[in-house]
Chains A and B, each alone.
Chain A
Amino acid sequence: MLKRVLLCAFALFICVSPDVEAQSFEVPFEVFRLDNGLRIILSEDHSAPTYSICVVYDVGSRNERPGKTGFAHLFEHMMFQGSENVGKGEHFILIQNNGGSMNGTTSVDRTNYFETLPANQLDLGLFLEADRMRSLDISEATLENQRQTVKEERRRGYDNAPYGRTFLTLNETAYESFAYSHSTIGSMEDLDAATLFDVEDFFRQYYAPNNAVLALVGDFDTEEALARIEEYFGDIPSQPAPLELLISEPQQTAEKRVTLQDKFARLPRLDLAFKAPAGNTGDWYILSVLGDILGGGQSGRLYKRLVQEEQVALNVRARLGERRGPSLFSITATPRPGIELEALEAVIYEEIEKLKSELVEDWEMEKVRAQIERQNAQRLQSTRARANALAQNTVFYNDPGLINTFQERFDGVTKEEVRSSAEIYLKETNRTVVTTLPQARTGRPSGGGVQ
């Protein structure tokens, strides 16, 4: 049975693009829920004969326990290893043969799966997602195969790459809570320890319709699509909801500092992280504007001063990450050869202090708004980006409409708010500093380590 209900924070409505010339386009959508708890967001767009489907499960590496790191991501790989009616690897083949594209990704806060297909293959996409939500079919052999694949992914991205461990160390040092301090890729030991029982247990706990949101964007008829969704997903049983995860991070009281030896890096690097508010909060939008002004690309203050004017850095970047719990505001800079890291760090702090003592300029606020408007419009050109945003905003914030109101949140930020957020968040006691130094080579060195 399909219930066409108004959910608490969802509105059952269709946004119609307003007839205002300067307004960016709006994404129309409707929200539904099946009896088994699966939330559904449908957004018709008949401008091309294609559609995208995205299923976001409310589980990420933050749900992992000690000894099980990397499991959410390993599990995501298992979702391509076969289900009751789909063989191992057949998912890839079916999508490729029909001209589509697909992937799955795991972050700290969620896991998503998506496909883009021709409009006449609506059944195929729904069938593939429903079959693996209902009935994962895996074996020791497929688990072992993907364990090896994921270990290669870790080697490629972290263990065999310059600065690979810097990112891992920054999170491990900045966060106290296990949920956010450990890496999504996981440790080799924990990957080795994962069992078939873990896979089944994880599937039962988190891969239930009531723990997922399905978004469909593109060339279909809403009524017809709903009927198909009910047909494919309606009989998948719901499960007891996983315990709600509260990520609490104690107030930091002193700077944390780590120096890392890197056997592949040739130049030192400075990585700073300040503990920041959760995504989609008022302070998050304010700090995000500040981040763009300070270090968003080559028009940012840090690039202008460090790279162009004083020429002490080869590159520098500041950005605010988005997490459901405490986020990180990070700054990364590579000094020019011959420049001391301490000197570079001091100039960055001077620029941060300026944000506390003087209001930013009008043109800087104007720039941030214009950049966000363009990036948003460009990003939402694809049905896939729209499906991912609709489903993820629902899982994170219970607000699919954020896809349309996102821009306004930035527009409301004032210069005074930017100044006070610098005072609140960009202070020494809220800071983690990781410096990465090239490990000196003498003969054939052995592995490095955290000092």
Chain B
Amino acid sequence: MCLRGSVCLVLAIVVCPTATIAQDIAAPDTSSVVRKNLAPVSDEVLQVTLPRAVQTTLDNGLRVLVLEDDRSPIVTMQLTISGAGPLYESRDLAGVAAMTARMLREGTTNRSNSDILEQVARLGANLNSSSAFGSEAASVSASGLSRNMEEWFEVMRDILLNPTFPESEFERLRQEQRAGLRQQRTSSGFLANERFSAAVFGDHPAATRSATEASLDAMSTEIIAQWHRERYAPQNSILSIAGDVDASDIVSLLNDRLADWERSDFVAQLPPNPEAPAVGQIYLVDRPDSAQTTIYMGGLALDRRDPDYIPLTVMNAVLGGGPSARLFLNLREEKGYTYGAYSFFSALKYPGSWRASADVRTEVTDGGMTEFLYELGRMRDEPVAAAELEEVKRSIVARFALSLERPTSLLNYSTTREIYGFEPDYWETYPEQVMAVTPALVQSMAEKYLNPETIQIVVVGDASEIREVMEQYGPVDVYDTEGDLIEDE
């Protein structure tokens, strides 16, 4: 690997043969997983280098991370502006962070929106600006050819520093978003996510998954301009760059071109953490004529700095982290209920959520519920077999090692370390920490987070078909696709 100017450490990852594991799983006359253990697996030590990004802070407080990689003539830049995301919105202005980010590309003191699109396209570059619901930050990103990087970077700089937020374009986007509010209600995934987030996060801003008619009405270009002026601050931002660049050249370019982005005294104050739901609840969103039921179940998880993060990563991988995890093997490979069943958790500066989910055909809504609850119960009630756990941990570490071949994932690791203030050797010690997780620790994670007393269950489907099924599991609140409660338990 040719990575100039970076510190290279050697990370030894032992990949062991798996020939003696789980002989008892075989059951050839059914549709369950069978292990023949005949494939050749190398037990050689895989050596992987973990290059570190060059890191510096500009005079205005902007932190810059650069990872040099000349394998292809491409440069990727991502600016993460902490403090400018929807987490800081009041509910009556839901969507203002996303609208501000989107409006950056609608005109500057130097360029109209057409100029921006045209210039970026002519250079072969790509420019984006967004802020996702649930996020604490806004982001401006660009990528393009290294040979004309200075030119496309200039457009990126312009939208960041000199946006004019023209009234006419704001009106256009507002109209588009009003239509978008209607469109999104057709998707069962959106409906499930909206209800689930409300159930888990309650009054916390992370419950918000969309703007509303009222919040769009309340927005104005003045409010957007103010959001930008106050919250797009260099001292709260990180610019991550990967690709065909020379670190010292780019840092001097940035020092020159971003000098007029002035440091402020703005400090983003996170809202108080969400409180975990006190009792379990079942929500049914009635989507008439649905061919499938979308099942979400879960609760509040943890923040990224929580010491449970790594053990929970391992627990999640056992439960539903991919096609060889328990949920997929049970609900798809054995039962044929779904195209895929997985589990996820998010961990940011505030506690995120965990959930297990799948789309199952309407007739097996009950079967799907039963298997989900069975698998969650099994995680809590039984320690994971040592052999299964070893495989899962090795898989996490091996995937981590393989991901290091991509400059963008390497850069993401550095950016994460910077955002959450981890120790410099966080990623060097990550494999050891994963390998140290024990069956008892995994089980304690399941007991702590997969709590049946407080679990929030959301199903989106045809109520006339699945309501009685769901009532077997407890009282059900029924919502319509507009998001309104139509029948209290």
Interface residues of A (CB under 8 A from B): 21-22, 24-25, 47-50, 82, 85-90, 92-94, 96-100, 116-121, 123-124, 127-128, 131, 139, 141-142, 144-153, 155-156, 159-162, 263-267, 297-299, 304, 307-308, 311, 314, 334, 336-337, 363, 366-367, 369-374, 377-378, 380-382, 441, 444-445, 447
Cα A139 to Cα B27 in complex, Å, equals 13
Q: Which residue of A lies closest to B393 (CB)?
A: A97
Asked, given contacts A47-B71, A308-B172, whether A88 binds B188 with beta carbons under 8 Å apart, the answer is: no
Interface residues of B (CB under 8 A from A): 1-2, 15, 18, 26, 28-36, 38-42, 44, 46-48, 71-74, 113-114, 117-118, 120-126, 143-145, 147, 172, 175-176, 178-180, 182-183, 185-188, 288-292, 322-324, 328-329, 332-339, 359-361, 391, 394-395, 397-402, 404-406, 464
A156 touches B397 (CB 8 A): no
- Subset of 7 A-B contacts with CB under 8 Å: A89-B329, A92-B324, A118-B46, A120-B44, A147-B336, A149-B339, A162-B187
B121 touches A97 (CB 8 A): no
Which residue of the partner chain, among B15, B144, B172, contacts A311 with CB atoms under 8 Å? B172
A377 touches B323 (CB 8 A): no
A150 CB to nearest B CB, Å: 8
Residues of the B chain whose Cβ atoms lie less than 8 Å from the Cβ of A47: 1-2, 71, 405
B27 CB to nearest A CB, Å: 10
Which residue of the partner chain, among A25, A123, A142, contacts B40 with CB atoms under 8 Å? A123
B391 touches A89 (CB 8 A): no
Starting from the known contacts A334-B183, A377-B74, 4 additional A-B residue pairs (CB-CB under 8 Å) come to A93-B33, A152-B337, A372-B124, A441-B288
Cα A22 to Cα B148 in complex, Å, equals 10
A313 CB to nearest B CB, Å: 9
Cα A120 to Cα B18 in complex, Å, equals 15
B292 touches A155 (CB 8 A): yes
A156 touches B40 (CB 8 A): no
Cα A234 to Cα B338 in complex, Å, equals 38
Cα A451 to Cα B120 in complex, Å, equals 44
Asked, given contacts A96-B323, A377-B74, A378-B143, whether A144 binds B179 with beta carbons under 8 Å apart, the answer is: no
**Interface class of chain B by DSSP:** mixed
Cα A120 to Cα B125 in complex, Å, equals 36
Cα A17 to Cα B253 in complex, Å, equals 30
Which residue of the partner chain, among B18, B359, B399, contacts A160 with CB atoms under 8 Å? B359
Residues of the B chain whose Cβ atoms lie less than 8 Å from the Cβ of A89: 32-34, 324, 329, 333
A141 CB to nearest B CB, Å: 4
B126 touches A118 (CB 8 A): no
Cα A441 to Cα B36 in complex, Å, equals 54
Asked, given contacts A97-B18, A142-B31, A145-B334, whether A298 binds B117 with beta carbons under 8 Å apart, the answer is: yes
B289 touches A263 (CB 8 A): yes
A116 touches B402 (CB 8 A): yes
Cα A380 to Cα B288 in complex, Å, equals 44
B336 touches A145 (CB 8 A): yes
A351 CB to nearest B CB, Å: 16
Q: Which residue of A lies closest to B407 (CB)?
A: A381
Residues of the A chain whose Cβ atoms lie less than 8 Å from the Cβ of B48: 49
B360 touches A152 (CB 8 A): yes
Cα A96 to Cα B124 in complex, Å, equals 36
A48 touches B29 (CB 8 A): no
A99 touches B34 (CB 8 A): no
A87 touches B395 (CB 8 A): no
Which residue of the partner chain, among A49, A131, A144, A145, contacts B46 with CB atoms under 8 Å? A49
B332 touches A99 (CB 8 A): no
B122 touches A49 (CB 8 A): no
B391 touches A97 (CB 8 A): yes
B41 touches A99 (CB 8 A): no
Residues of the A chain whose Cβ atoms lie less than 8 Å from the Cβ of B2: 47
Cα A161 to Cα B359 in complex, Å, equals 12
Asked, given contacts A123-B42, A155-B359, whether A97 binds B324 with beta carbons under 8 Å apart, the answer is: yes
Which residue of the partner chain, among B28, B121, B179, B188, contacts A337 with CB atoms under 8 Å? B179
Cα A24 to Cα B72 in complex, Å, equals 8
B338 touches A92 (CB 8 A): no
B326 CB to nearest A CB, Å: 12
A97 touches B31 (CB 8 A): no
B369 CB to nearest A CB, Å: 16
Asked, given contacts A121-B42, A314-B180, whether A299 binds B120 with beta carbons under 8 Å apart, the answer is: yes
B487 CB to nearest A CB, Å: 16
B458 CB to nearest A CB, Å: 16
B122 touches A160 (CB 8 A): no
A285 CB to nearest B CB, Å: 17
Which residue of the partner chain, among A49, A96, A116, A266, contacts B395 with CB atoms under 8 Å? A96
Asked, given contacts A49-B405, A155-B291, A314-B176, whether A308 binds B114 with beta carbons under 8 Å apart, the answer is: yes
Residues of the B chain whose Cβ atoms lie less than 8 Å from the Cβ of A94: 18, 39, 41
Which residue of the partner chain, among B41, B143, B145, contacts A370 with CB atoms under 8 Å? B145
List 3 tightest A-B contacts by C-beta distance, closest first. Answer: A99-B398, A370-B124, A148-B336
A149 touches B332 (CB 8 A): yes
A151 touches B361 (CB 8 A): yes
Residues of the B chain whose Cβ atoms lie less than 8 Å from the Cβ of A92: 322-324, 328
Cα A116 to Cα B48 in complex, Å, equals 16
Cα A85 to Cα B145 in complex, Å, equals 46
Residues of the A chain whose Cβ atoms lie less than 8 Å from the Cβ of B289: 263-264, 445, 447
A25 touches B359 (CB 8 A): no
Asked, given contacts A88-B333, A444-B464, whether A267 binds B183 with beta carbons under 8 Å apart, the answer is: yes
Residues of the A chain whose Cβ atoms lie less than 8 Å from the Cβ of B339: 149-150, 152-153, 156
